[in-house]
Amino acid sequence: MQPKGDIQTVAINTIRTLAMDAVQAANSGHPGTPMAMAPVAYTLWQQFLRFDPSDPIWPNRDRFVLSMGHASMLLYSMLHLTQVKAVNPQYETLGKLSVPLDDIKRFRQLDSRCPGHPEYRWTSGIETTTGPLGQGVATSVGMAIAGKWMAATFNRPNFEMFNFDVYALAGDGCLMEGASHEAASLAGHLRLSNLCWVYDNNKITIEGHTDWAFSEDVATRFIAYGWNVLRVGDANDVERLAKAFQTFKKTTDRPTLIIVDSHIAWGSPNKQDTHSAHGEPLGEDEIKLTKKNYGWPEDAKFLVPDGVLQHFAGGMGKRGGEARGQWMQLFEQYKKEHPQLGDAMQRMQKRQLPDGWDKDIPVFPADPKGAAGRDASGKVLNALAKNIPWLIGGSADLAPSTKTRLTFDGAGDFGHPDAEVDPHAPKGTHVSFAGRNFHFGVRELAMGSVLNGMALSKVRAYGSGFMVFSDFSRPAIRLSSIMEVPVVYIFTHDSIGVGEDGPTHQPIEHLAALRAIPGLITLRPGDANEVAEAWRVIMQLRHEPVCLILSRQAMPTLDRTKYGAASGVKNGAYVLACNAPDGKPEVILIGTGSEVGLVVEAYEKLKAEGVKARAVSMPSWELFEHQDAAYREKVLPASCAARVGVEQAGGFGWERYIGTRGEMVAMKTFGASAPLKELQKKFGFTADGVIAAAKRDMGKA
């Protein structure tokens, strides 16, 4: 039996019934929103989304972000019905479907291409991992920013290489989360006309009706942000939806919010519990009643009726394929007329580096006074960015403190071309969408999400702030790791070295919290040359996000003719010095960051006393764990149980390196407000304090 209705109605109901059947088979998930939003997804994908199912990573494709990731079956249905092809990590199209029907039948089951929430890199056609509400829409802002930047950077007369739009589908929960507020404010300020959010205004959350906690005027709020706001009173009104998307396409001076009123209802008069329907399977009886109401075969499961695949192929597939084909032809001409830009575009898309990218990384001379980690980083960053044109980023209103401003000629500031230049900005500053200095404002959470969106669009993005405020960015950092995108987070003011600002600004538990995130690399370099080598490591990463942890205070620049080469940073930990001729030290001192200089000072004093000691710099636990067992044993020989760890942070986790009997010179409380030297003395971060710990550990106290 063929379902009733014209092909458009049948196609929309196919999206709905696949969602119902998958959730029921899994006995887990959310069928309501996919059913309610099926006409929206259908209209957008079939008529407007410029996307080629045969090449889902085509650089100038439109992006679709399902911010309300709990409605994942909506996306999986679309990926299957439009026959999106799978792509492997080598950017090769495999010729098989990204989402076969068998995977939909195994929704939310182990190894299915249809997990509970959409996961980037797991299923081709998914632009970003979503699930934590608000993160998807915030990430979409980063994609739109990247689109504007790439257009301004690569487009040339007669060669419009980038002009893609970004669509995000959001629910009430997304708009309640703070990330969406921060991101929407930034998008409005930047006038991102290539960004369209669709708000499913269904007035239902897990606890019930949104009136329990959410009564603001969303439309007025977004108008205040500087958005164009449209409304479609019925999610089933395909004509009104199309007109709304057409209006977005014609809007050139601001982002667009389309508010779509929907109701989670099933067509069955017996189904009154919309809350349970929102968050639970419908049940076999209710599914049959709903299918009957659709004019659908009641006992058919996972039915894709005749003509539906062909319908999508003739719409989205045909339009997207033609657009991609024209773009590829244009790109071949572009490479001939603009070979340097063409080469840069290709390398950027594959996360490759330009030739000579590291030729200007500075080498810092030995200096007992040294330099702050943030100052050394600023110099290295500028040297790299001159040679890596797509290395772009900024700060959460802290560039003067984090030293992340790009100061070379032509760097510029990112912003709408009509924006006024800050009168306090450096002379010659210009604002455009090709600018490479980003101003995220005091929005650490949105900054992290935006960086994810930028990185997903293949620019190399970095953002910076104070280490203590990494808490605000943590949800986005975690998603960077889950998605394996190489975002660079630069966190300065990394310890009680912040001094007079006191406990609220002195990070204690933050290093341990970041180190706990799987796949994230933390780097806390101990002098200027370690900073340079840390950046050398960072730029060669393709799938790992990094937190570069930097000091505000000066650190002595070690004499590398006397101590181990800073290139050891790439191994995570390395021997700085050892005065045990037989390679069997009595005690090992391990330091990170600003405490490396302290470890060296204590080592020299122990050496003078005749103690066989070893000084080790350990800028990255993660990189050290990547080394083989032989290397790790070489740096931290098991024969030496007397070990002292030194770090101006909580000691949580250090047992893996100092053992259960080792000593830890670390913070056991929050800090205090005082000048740095007083704090170091109060909390035991002195050479004498380290030496005392070493002697206790050796039993010589």
Domain identity same for 540 and 667: no
Q: In the predicted model, what is the mean pLDDT of residues 437-446?
A: 96
Q: How many domains does the chain have?
A: 3
CA angle 126, 132, 138 (to 5 degrees): 70
Q: Is 71 exposed, middle or buried (0-12, 13-18, 19+ CB in 10 A)?
A: buried
Active site residues: 444
Domain identity same for 184 and 75: yes
Spell out the residues 6+ positions from residue 141 whose beta carbon is closer than 8 angstroms to its own. 183, 184, 186, 187, 192, 195, 446, 449, 450, 453
Q: Among 62-76, 89-103, 502-516, 672-686, which stretch is predicted with the lowest mean pLDDT? A: 89-103
Q: Is residue 619 scored above 70 in pLDDT?
A: yes
Domain identity same for 173 and 295: yes
Q: Determine the pLDDT at residue 214.
A: 78
Q: In the predicted model, what is the mean pLDDT of residues 576-602?
A: 95
Distance in angstroms (rounded) separating the CA atoms of residues 186 and 203: 26
Q: Determine the pLDDT at residue 94.
A: 76
Q: Among 203-207, 311-315, 318-322, 363-367, which stretch is predicted with the lowest mean pLDDT? A: 203-207
Domain identity same for 498 and 579: no
Place of tokens 């490759």: 352
CA angle 636, 639, 641 (to 5 degrees): 75
Domain identity same for 172 and 275: yes
Distance in angstroms (rounded) separating the CA atoms of residues 500 and 679: 9
**Strand-pair category, 204-205 with 208-209:** antiparallel
The enclosing domain of 40 has a CATH number of 3.40.50.970
> Half-sphere exposure of residue 227, counting CA atoms within 13 Å on the CB side?
28
Mean pLDDT of the chain: 93
Q: Is residue 67 scored above 50 in pLDDT?
A: yes
Which tokens hold the place of 99? 């989402």
Q: Is residue 269 scored above 70 in pLDDT?
A: no
Q: 630 lies in a domain?
A: yes
Domain identity same for 155 and 289: yes
Percent of the chain past pLDDT 90, that is, above it, reads 89
pLDDT in tens, 150-179: 999 999 999 999 999 999 999 999 999 999
Q: Determine the pLDDT at residue 377.
A: 98
Q: Determine the pLDDT at residue 266.
A: 43
Q: In the predicted model, what is the mean pLDDT of residues 90-118?
A: 91
Q: 334 lies in a domain?
A: no
Closest CA to 56 of 91, 28, 30: 91
Q: In the predicted model, what is the mean pLDDT of residues 104-116?
A: 95
pLDDT in tens, 197-206: 999 997 766 6
Q: 348 lies in a domain?
A: no
pLDDT in tens, 591-611: 999 999 999 999 999 999 999
Q: Among 156-165, 281-290, 393-402, which stretch is predicted with the lowest mean pLDDT? A: 281-290
Domain identity same for 380 and 317: no
Residue 472 host element (H or E)? helix 470-483
| Reported confidence tier of residue 270, pLDDT bands at 50, 70, 90 | very low
Contact 579, 613 (CB under 8 A): yes
Q: Is 470 helix (H, G, I), strand (E, B) or coil?
A: helix
Q: Is residue 209 scored above 80 in pLDDT?
A: no
Q: In the predicted model, what is the mean pLDDT of residues 179-193?
A: 97
Taking residue 389's Cβ as centre, other Cβ atoms within 10 Å add up to 19
Identity at 274, one-letter amino acid code? T
Distance in angstroms (rounded) separating the CA atoms of residues 455 and 457: 5
Q: 435 lies in a domain?
A: yes
pLDDT in tens, 526-554: 999 999 999 999 999 999 999 999 999 99
Q: Is residue 676 scored above 70 in pLDDT?
A: yes
| Reported confidence tier of residue 92, pLDDT bands at 50, 70, 90 | confident
Last residue of a domain, one of 323, 341, 359: 323
Q: Is 257 exposed, middle or buried (0-12, 13-18, 19+ CB in 10 A)?
A: buried
Domain identity same for 102 and 223: yes
Q: 562 lies in a domain?
A: no
Domain identity same for 70 and 19: yes
Q: Determine the pLDDT at residue 272.
A: 39
pTM for the model stands at 0.95
CA angle 264, 270, 275 (to 5 degrees): 35
Last residue of a domain, one of 261, 296, 323: 323
Q: In the predicted model, what is the mean pLDDT of residues 24-41?
A: 93
Distance in angstroms (rounded) separating the CA atoms of residues 71 and 114: 11
Last residue of a domain, one of 257, 289, 323: 323
Distance in angstroms (rounded) separating the CA atoms of residues 616 and 373: 18
Q: In the predicted model, what is the mean pLDDT of residues 230-245?
A: 96
pLDDT in tens, 446-475: 999 999 999 999 999 999 999 999 999 999
Distance in angstroms (rounded) separating the CA atoms of residues 98 and 88: 10
Domain identity same for 522 and 382: yes
Q: Determine the pLDDT at residue 202.
A: 79
| Reported confidence tier of residue 427, pLDDT bands at 50, 70, 90 | low
Q: 661 lies in a domain?
A: yes
The enclosing domain of 675 has a CATH number of 3.40.50.920
Distance in angstroms (rounded) separating the CA atoms of residues 482 and 476: 10
Distance in angstroms (rounded) separating the CA atoms of residues 228 and 188: 9
Distance in angstroms (rounded) separating the CA atoms of residues 647 and 662: 14
Please report the DSSP string for 247-312 in residue order. HHHH--SS-EEEEEE-----S-TT---HHHHHHS---HHHHHHHHHHHT--TT--S---TTHHHHH
Please report the DSSP string for 566-635 in residue order. GGGGGGS-EEEEE--TTS--SEEEEE-TTHHHHHHHHHHHHHHTT--EEEEE-S-HHHHHTS-HHHHHHH
| Reported confidence tier of residue 428, pLDDT bands at 50, 70, 90 | low
Domain identity same for 551 and 439: yes
Q: Determine the pLDDT at residue 207.
A: 63
SS (H, E, C) 490-549: EEECCCHHHHHHCHHHCCCCHHHHHHCCCCCEEECCCCHHHHHHHHHHHHCCCCCCEEEE
Q: In the predicted model, what is the mean pLDDT of residues 615-632?
A: 98
Q: Among 156-165, 276-285, 434-443, 658-667, which stretch is predicted with the lowest mean pLDDT? A: 276-285
Dihedral angle sign, alpha carbons of residues 384, 135, 50, 29: positive
Q: Is residue 267 scored above 50 in pLDDT?
A: no
Q: Is 659 exposed, middle or buried (0-12, 13-18, 19+ CB in 10 A)?
A: middle
Residue 664 host element (H or E)? strand 663-667
Q: 335 lies in a domain?
A: no
Q: In the predicted model, what is the mean pLDDT of residues 512-519?
A: 97
pLDDT in tens, 632-673: 999 999 999 999 999 999 999 999 999 988 999 999 999 999
Distance in angstroms (rounded) separating the CA atoms of residues 48 and 221: 27
Q: 168 lies in a domain?
A: yes
Domain identity same for 256 and 121: yes
Q: Which residue range forms the structural domain that includes residue 397?
A: 367-555
Q: Determine the pLDDT at residue 70.
A: 93
Distance in angstroms (rounded) separating the CA atoms of residues 589 and 664: 10
Distance in angstroms (rounded) separating the CA atoms of residues 490 and 448: 11
